[in-house]
Amino acid sequence: MAVDELDTRILRLLLEQPRTSVREYARILGIARGTLQARLDRLERDGVITGTGPVLSPAALGHPVLAFVHIEVTQGHLDEVGDALAAIPEIVEAFSITGGGDLLTRVVARDNGHLEDVIQRLIQLPGVVRTRTEMALRERVPHRLLPLVEAVGRASASAPGQK
C-alpha cells in the first residue's frame, strides 16, 4: 500500500500527538475532517495503523528486567509451544525465527530470580528442547516507527509519477 505525503503527515501527528482529537488533527493539517477520517479508515483497513492506545512500561509495572529468550522446539510442535507461550504473562512478544532457535521471546521480570522462574516454566513446556537467554542492559534505541514512516513517505514522493 502506497503511503503518500499526506499519509506521512497524518502518521507523524498520530505518533507525536497520540491524544489529540481527529478534529484537531484536521485543523493542524489544514484538511477537512472527513478527508482525515477517510485517510485514517484506509490506513487502518490496509493494516498500516494496527491499534491505538497507551504504550505501557513494564518497568513501571514492576518488571524492570528485560531478556530475550531463544527457544529451540521439537519439530512439529511450534504451534503448540507458541500457544503455551501466550499463557505466560511475562512473555510480552514471541516470534518464529530462522537461525539459532525456532522462537524468540521478549520476557520481562521483577528481578533475576523471577526471570529464572519464568525460564524454568519455559523449559518445562512440552516440545521445548532448550532455551538461551540474553539479558538487555540498556535500551539504546527505543521502539520507534517515525523514521521509517518518513523514509517511506520520502520514497513515495520521489517515485516516478509522483509529485
How is residue 7 written as a grid cell?
499519509
Q: pLDDT band at residue 156, thresholds of 50, 70 and 90?
A: confident
DSSP-assigned letter for residue 145: -
Answer whether 123's CB lies under 8 Å from 69's CB: no
pLDDT digits (tens, 9 = 90+) for 132-151: 999 999 999 999 999 999 89
Sequence-ordered list of residues with C-beta below 8 angstroms from that of 139, at least 6 positions apart, any chain: none
Reading phi first (left if > 0) and then psi (alpha if -120 to 50, else beta), residue 107 is in: beta
For the residues 50-57, what does the mean pLDDT come to?
87
pLDDT digits (tens, 9 = 90+) for 58-100: 999 999 999 999 999 999 999 999 999 999 999 999 999 998 8
Answer whether 65's CB lies under 8 Å from 109's CB: yes
Residue 162 has pLDDT above 80, yes or no: no
For the residues 24-48, what does the mean pLDDT come to?
96
For the residues 119-144, what does the mean pLDDT come to?
96
For the residues 2-29, what does the mean pLDDT come to?
92
